[in-house]
Amino acid sequence: VIGVVIGKTDVRSFPDRKNIGTERYTFGFTIRDSPSYFINVQSWGREEYIRSLSESFRVGDCVTIENPLIQSKEAEREEKFNPVTPSAYKLLLSENHSVVKTSSCYDTDTRLLSLLHLPVKDPQDYYSLGDIVANGQSLHGRVLNVLAAVMAVSE
């Protein structure tokens, strides 16, 4: 699978239920290869493997994923912590079988770069900041999708 990374989570750790006293590490990212299709990728493993893999690419990089495990996603649970994707599946990376290679999008396919700027939500399924300001009282207590752009970042 070749795609551009459009989102990425931080590395997290959890107690390993099989090996009491040890921890398993994980992080996830979302890749896109067309305007309509993107998929979540999850990786679990030892701390060294997960940290090294996470540091090997960033949002905006193109990646090639070899030998991922394809799993059905548990929509309700999965989409609570990951972007909602149009696929019924997710990719799972294994330290022993999967490989992630990074490359320049210019080397791979310059069309992938344009996918970075497309919203992942249906254009009819979000509110602008102006909508929220104008209708804030009637939206109170609702969960909303917001489409906005960052204008500045400072301390």
pLDDT digits (tens, 9 = 90+) for 92-118: 998 889 999 987 666 666 777 778 777
- Domain contains 122: no
- Domain contains 126: no
CATH number of the domain bearing residue 25:
2.40.50.140
What residues are paired with 65 via a beta bridge? 100
Q: Mean of the per-residue pLDDT values for the chain?
A: 85
How many structural domains are present in the chain? 1
The residues, ordered by sequence, that sit 6+ positions from 28 with a Cβ below 8 Å of its Cβ are: 8, 9, 40, 41, 42, 43, 82
Q: Alpha helix locations (H) across the chain? A: 47-55, 75-81, 105-108, 111-114, 129-139
Strands 38-45, 89-93: pairing is parallel
Please give the average per-residue pLDDT across 45-53, as a whole number: 94
Give the domain extent around 86.
Answer: 2-115
- Domain contains 150: no
Query: Tokens 């104008």 identify what position?
Result: 134
Please give the average per-residue pLDDT across 2-30, as a whole number: 89
